[in-house]
Amino acid sequence: MNFKYLLFVFVGLCLLVLSACGPKAMAPEAELDTPGHHVKNGHKMLKTGKIDGAFREFNRAKELDPKYSPAYVGLGLVYGIRGEYENGFKQLKIANKYADGNKQKINVNVGDMRLFIMGRDKINKDWLEEVESKFKRSIKIDPEVSAPYFYMGIAYKMSFEFQQAAGQFSKVLDLDKEFVKKADEEYAVIQKIQRAMPGSVVGKKIALLHKITRADVAALFIEELEIDELFRKRTPKKFDTAFKDPEKKFVSGEYVKIPPASDIENHVLKSDIDAVIAIGIKGLQPYPNHTYKPYKIITRAEFAMMIEDILIKITGDENLATRFIGNESPFPDLRNDLSFFNAAMVCTTRNILEVKDISTGEFDPQGSVSGAESLLSIRTLKSQL
């Protein structure tokens, strides 16, 4: 038998076996049952926090087309959000293998950038260098795509390189394509942080938060405002020189003291919380059941009352507590008989706290306070004190 013919048959059989072993595409069950449609749905679900739903969408896209690169990028991001970074990078490796065209190649690089940002120090101490490497690859393919610049900005923001972050978000705005609204919001946050100039590591970390807690506020008042030092300098020391019988105190149990807050023992910001409790700032004292609730998100109304109390305590001006009572409310969402109305007026008239919506003048008392916003308020308060 002809050798060339045998070789041809052998190669053909090998190809047949390989094709049989490879992943098989499922047949679509509806008109919109396409890989592209499911990937689009998956990313929508990721934005709204529906992680399991996103996973199903990306997985369905992969079933319909086992070589569809964007499906694997989506799966990689889901694994990243779940903290399964190793699995995430495996999916992105497959995505890179099947990437078809410049758009999909950039999509894979951006997926890698996002995964490194999610994991940061947990997966690689040189994560920022990895992100920069993927960023350079992306803009080398096409320097006019917005996504690489946006996520590079996020990476610089997370590493406290605020000036460089501002540059990346500015580039997204200049391109005026995708991510414009998000980049504009991030750029505004960076500007606030730069104006606030956080001096402590804790301050820089809290600056990145969208909502701050009671523990965060305590840390900012101690680390950035240095309120304990302000009180020490401006408050005269009090000495109790009255005679106390040691035996009587011991017998009566005076030496047995209940801790002011029972739920902060293992909190990383315990020392700051203890210092704030000792000062007795209104709104930051322990609750009657001796809990501090360090993870409770504070509202704008609560933050305003804290600032008002600090001003009164340090300046000694007790009239501040009633200065605006009876005044007409300039806020459409705030009555002048509310307990925090005066505090809101004190903070806004001194430019310590801005209204939530400049166009409507709403104060939004039950809204949250971001880290950048609180830092800027503290910087302004500090300059006034």
Query: Does residue 15 fall inside a structural domain?
Result: no
How many CA atoms lie less than 13 Å away from 68 in the CB half-sphere? Answer: 24
C-alpha distances (whole Å) from 40 to each of 36, 45, 70, 87, 371 are: 6, 9, 9, 21, 32
Are 193 and 337 part of one and the same domain?
Answer: no
Are 280 and 138 part of one and the same domain?
Answer: no
Amino acid at 171: K
Residue that is written with structure tokens 């460089």 in the block: 164
Are 316 and 273 part of one and the same domain?
Answer: yes
Q: How many whole angstroms separate alpha carbon 58 and alpha carbon 288?
A: 49
Of 198, 230, 255, which closes a domain?
198
- Percentage with pLDDT > 90 across the chain: 74
What is the residue range of 187's domain?
25-198
Are 122 and 231 part of one and the same domain?
Answer: no
Are 188 and 120 part of one and the same domain?
Answer: yes
Find, among 12, 160, 46, the residue nearest to 114 by Cα: 46
41: CATH:
1.25.40.10
The predicted-structure confidence for 141-194, as pLDDT tens digits, reads as follows 999 999 999 999 999 999 999 999 999 999 999 999 999 999 999 999 999 999
Q: Record the pTM.
A: 0.78
The predicted-structure confidence for 108-149, as pLDDT tens digits, reads as follows 999 999 999 999 878 878 999 999 999 999 999 999 999 999
The count of structural domains within the chain is 2
